[in-house]
């Protein structure tokens, strides 16, 4: 949310996200310790001395970083010393026409490389031929932050200045960064990130003049006004007064009209939702898995639907999740009005995007593969829905390269500072090898690391590790496992089928990861505070509050022991853990009264998770507790799932601990292993008990599920001090 200050520019304040990486944007207090180098390569028509760079963001408050020295400075109005233009008497927030002295020429930056510490809500601003005019309010308090360009204001001092920016957050759990076309396209940009065995790039592939020429040659009449020919810029439709404000109204009206009498059903990363329009134009949805309710409080206007504003940006957690899905679906015309009532629609089917008029042609244009690398770019607020945005994330970044003028001729997947590890190898019979460390890799990342389409033929896995090869890029589909060996394991069809890999330790011991609770990538209602055990913890957790942690890797399928460091000065509470925005609920843990907000204890439960990289979430089913950290430990399995399920009929008299339930999803028979502390109970979503299995000392129990209808069921296992629960999907 932006607010106006006087009659000048948009103001960013401490209580507001300075930018948004979809629903996964992180805003928090981060330490200044490690720095990350950002190399700026000039592939533009402008000389280095006509390119200006500024860096603004948040550490312990609002700061700016000197691009020449790397010094981190607290924002303060005393830096407002640069005389800016006065348009129609607009003297700016300081009423003296003075603005922040925070821009530096690219020609003055040593090695054209900027060192940036851990920072949140950061923007690297790049302008051409003139600096931008920002106004600093202060480091903290009210008002704080800075005023940014507001080109919808005709008296803004930044009118006519071409600029671009990189948005980023860099903290203890990784780097998130992206280019942006959410407000406008002004000049082609390229962004490349290297990490520990990681490489990804995004950005435009063509020169500026070629992009403008292609726009003019193909643009439909409704979008012609978006191009400012004098400035050579293309603005987002709702930022241009001449764009028809009713452009999407017909499609929106048809959606609301159809689903007043019929049911819209769609799948998302947060489960399957069913919705109908009710009195007052409210679109009310229910989630299949748990009946969770989400609402769009009214029929949106074209502007609200395209921007993700107004009724499409209101309410609580699940309201916002569904609203983001619907904004993306309307923008892409992914809601098929010809599909009968109640039939599931897949809004993630990219082949159907931008096919039926009307849709946001601005978004379609920049998502074309000849404009943007792999069609990824950020053209509207929720372009990250189904991973269409230009966001790059890696937990261990090493180098970042920003290319002014786009990616053409400037892509190099082999930075000199990156060393190759040897846990995993691709190799041809000639001995060519590229090493990868333990982790997850999409096909695009493999290709970026030099494992190309033409030479992917076999894999070699170091002893003690396994490579799980997936046939989709979501780490959820059919997979095969290659284990450690001394020679290459030929995989026929690798080129055409396998698109992602997870490299992980074979069951040779426990491997753990600890998440600091304050490093949430998104949250609702909580606050960070100083912790008696050092650093910070998350406090002020009330019922309904939540925290999410993006890109948490579970390297192999099986049981994970999850510990939570918690404290409570009241009656305790209940913590619910989930993955992928609640699509899969892992279970609940009771939190005791520890006698003080900083009197810490550890509670835990064991859950079963399929291999993959997820958004890991904590939800306060009942509040009144603090949390310091989460520790996730993979537990060794006595036998593999495949071995245990040979023929789906074998009963294996062998103790496997802790609790394991597999396969999940299940067809006819389900196996329950490690049931040695309470009865296994299965319920439908109405709370009716359907099945009860008594413990038998930990041996595997075979349960017949063939008579159950397809759907989602809830299981509970009651122990002496807590109840372990989860979901079972019947296919």
Residue 385 has pLDDT above 50, yes or no: yes
pLDDT computed for residue 570 by the predictor: 83
Q: How confident is the model at residue 455 (pLDDT cuts 50, 70, 90)?
A: very low
Q: How confident is the model at residue 417 (pLDDT cuts 50, 70, 90)?
A: very low
Residue 507 has pLDDT above 60, yes or no: no
What residues contact 681, with CB distance under 8 A and at least 6 apart?
A: 689, 691, 692, 693, 715, 716, 717, 718
Q: Is the dihedral of CA 687, 693, 697, 700 positive or negative?
A: negative
pLDDT computed for residue 486 by the predictor: 37
Residue 360 has pLDDT above 90, yes or no: yes
pLDDT computed for residue 496 by the predictor: 47
Distance of CA 693 to the CA centre of its chain: 39
Question: In this structure, are residues 574 and 588 in contact, taking their beta carbons and an 8 Å threshold?
Answer: yes
pLDDT computed for residue 638 by the predictor: 29
pLDDT computed for residue 726 by the predictor: 65
Question: In this structure, are residues 255 and 335 in contact, taking their beta carbons and an 8 Å threshold?
Answer: yes
pLDDT computed for residue 6 by the predictor: 31
Query: What Å distances lie between residue 166 and 50, 102, 127, 668, 677, CA to CA?
Result: 18, 16, 12, 51, 53
pLDDT computed for residue 353 by the predictor: 95
Residue 169 has pLDDT above 50, yes or no: yes
Which stretches within 272-425 are classed as H helix?
302-307, 317-331, 361-367
Strand ordering across the sheet containing 500-505 = 439-442, 500-505, 465-470, 479-483
Question: In this structure, are residues 341 and 316 in contact, taking their beta carbons and an 8 Å threshold?
Answer: no
Residue 343 has pLDDT above 80, yes or no: yes
Q: How confident is the model at residue 707 (pLDDT cuts 50, 70, 90)?
A: confident
Q: Classify residue 183 by burial, with Cβ atoms within 10 Å: 0-12, 13-18, 19+.
A: middle
Question: In this structure, are residues 54 and 104 in contact, taking their beta carbons and an 8 Å threshold?
Answer: yes
Residue 729 has pLDDT above 60, yes or no: yes
Question: In this structure, are residues 459 and 425 in contact, taking their beta carbons and an 8 Å threshold?
Answer: yes
- Rounded to the nearest integer, the mean pLDDT of the chain is 79
Domains of the chain: 3-213+390-404 (2.60.110.10), 253-348 (no CATH), 424-505 (2.60.20.10), 511-634 (2.60.120.260), 641-730 (2.60.40.3080)
Q: Best-predicted range by mean pLDDT among 100-104, 508-512, 609-613? A: 100-104
Residue 674 has pLDDT above 60, yes or no: yes
| Pick from 10-14, 286-290, 411-415, 653-657: least confident | 653-657
Q: Best-predicted range by mean pLDDT among 27-36, 330-339, 517-526? A: 330-339
pLDDT computed for residue 571 by the predictor: 80
Residue 424 has pLDDT above 50, yes or no: no
pLDDT tens across 602-618, in order?
888 878 888 788 889 99
| Pick from 49-58, 541-550, 672-681: least confident | 672-681
The residue assigned the tokens 């109908």 is: 276
Residue 31 has pLDDT above 50, yes or no: no
Phi, psi of 548 (to 5 degrees): -130, 145
The residue assigned the tokens 């122990």 is: 719
pLDDT tens across 344-357, in order?
999 988 889 999 99
pTM higher than 0.95: no
Query: What Å distances lie between residue 703 and 515, 649, 681, 716, CA to CA?
Result: 36, 10, 12, 15
Residue in 467, 473, 479, 393 with CA at minimum distance from that of residue 175: 393
């Amino acid at each position: 949310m932006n607010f106006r200050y006087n009659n000048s520019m948009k103001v960013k304040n401490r209580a507001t996200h300075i930018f948004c990486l979809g629903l996964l944007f992180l805003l928090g207090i981060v330490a200044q310790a490690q720095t990350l180098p950002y190399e700026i390569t000039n592939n533009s028509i402008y000389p280095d001395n006509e390119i200006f760079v500024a860096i603004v963001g948040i550490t312990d408050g609002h700061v700016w970083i000197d691009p020449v020295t790397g010094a981190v400075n607290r924002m303060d109005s005393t830096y407002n010393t640069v005389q800016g233009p006065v348009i129609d008497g607009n003297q700016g927030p300081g009423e003296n026409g003075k603005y922040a002295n925070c821009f530096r020429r690219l020609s003055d930056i040593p090695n054209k490389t900027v060192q940036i510490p851990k920072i949140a809500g950061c923007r690297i601003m790049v302008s051409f031929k003139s600096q931008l005019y920002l106004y600093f309010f202060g480091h903290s308090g009210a008002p704080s932050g800075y005023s940014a360009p507001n080109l919808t204001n005709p008296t803004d001092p930044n009118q006519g200045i071409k600029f671009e920016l990189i948005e980023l957050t860099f903290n203890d759990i990784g780097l998130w960064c992206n280019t942006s076309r959410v407000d406008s396209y002004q000049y082609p940009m390229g962004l490349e990130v290297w990490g520990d065995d990681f490489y990804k790039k995004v950005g435009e592939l063509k020169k500026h003049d070629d992009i403008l020429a292609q726009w003019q040659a193909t643009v439909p009449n409704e979008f012609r006004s978006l191009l400012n020919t004098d400035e050579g810029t293309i603005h987002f439709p709702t930022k241009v007064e001449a764009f028809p404000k009713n452009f999407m109204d017909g499609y929106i009206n048809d959606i609301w009209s159809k689903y007043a009498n019929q049911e819209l059903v769609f799948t998302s990363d947060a489960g399957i939702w069913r919705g109908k329009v009710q009195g007052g134009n409210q679109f009310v949805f229910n989630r299949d898995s748990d009946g969770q309710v989400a609402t769009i409080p009214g029929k949106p206007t074209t502007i609200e639907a395209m921007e993700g504003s107004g009724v499409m940006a209101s309410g609580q957690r699940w309201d916002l999740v569904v609203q983001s899905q619907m904004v993306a679906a309307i923008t892409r015309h992914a809601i098929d009005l010809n599909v009968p009532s109640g039939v599931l629609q897949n809004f993630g089917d990219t082949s159907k995007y931008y096919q039926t008029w009307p849709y946001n042609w601005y978004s379609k244009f920049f998502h074309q593969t000849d404009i943007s690398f792999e069609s990824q770019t950020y053209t509207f607020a929720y372009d990250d829905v189904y991973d269409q945005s230009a966001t790059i994330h890696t937990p261990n970044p090493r180098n970042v390269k920003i290319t002014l003028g786009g990616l053409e001729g400037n892509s190099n997947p082999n930075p000199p500072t990156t060393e190759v590890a040897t846990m995993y190898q691709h190799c041809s019979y000639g001995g060519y090898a590229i090493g990868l460390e333990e982790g997850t890799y999409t096909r695009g990342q493999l290709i970026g690391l030099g494992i190309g389409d033409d030479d992917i033929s076999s894999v070699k896995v170091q002893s003690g590790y396994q490579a799980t090869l997936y046939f989709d890029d979501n780490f959820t589909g059919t997979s095969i496992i290659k284990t450690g060996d001394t020679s290459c394991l030929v995989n026929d069809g690798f080129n055409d089928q396998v698109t992602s890999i997870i490299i992980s330790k074979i069951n040779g011991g426990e491997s753990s990861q600890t998440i600091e609770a304050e490093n949430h990538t998104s949250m609702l209602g909580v606050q960070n505070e100083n912790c008696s055990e050092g650093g910070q913890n998350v406090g002020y957790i009330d019922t309904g509050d939540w925290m999410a942690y993006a890109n948490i890797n579970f390297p192999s399928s099986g049981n994970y022991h999850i510990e939570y460091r918690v404290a409570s000065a009241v009656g305790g509470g209940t913590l619910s853990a989930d993955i992928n925005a609640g699509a899969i609920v892992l279970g609940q843990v009771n939190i005791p009264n520890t006698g003080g907000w900083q009197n810490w204890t550890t509670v835990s439960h064991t859950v079963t998770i399929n291999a993959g990289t997820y958004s890991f979430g904590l939800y306060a089913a009942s509040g009144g507790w603090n949390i310091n950290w989460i520790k996730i430990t993979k537990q060794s399995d006595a036998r593999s799932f495949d071995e245990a399920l040979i023929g789906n009929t074998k009963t294996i008299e062998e103790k496997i601990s802790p609790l394991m339930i597999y396969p999940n999803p299940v067809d006819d028979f389900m196996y329950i292993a490690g049931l040695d502390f309470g009865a296994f109970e299965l319920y439908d979503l109405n709370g009716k008990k359907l099945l009860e299995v008594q413990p038998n000392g930990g041996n595997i129990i075979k349960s017949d599920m063939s008579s159950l209808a397809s759907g989602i069921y809830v299981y509970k296992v009651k122990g002496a001090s807590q109840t372990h629960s989860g979901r079972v999907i019947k296919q």
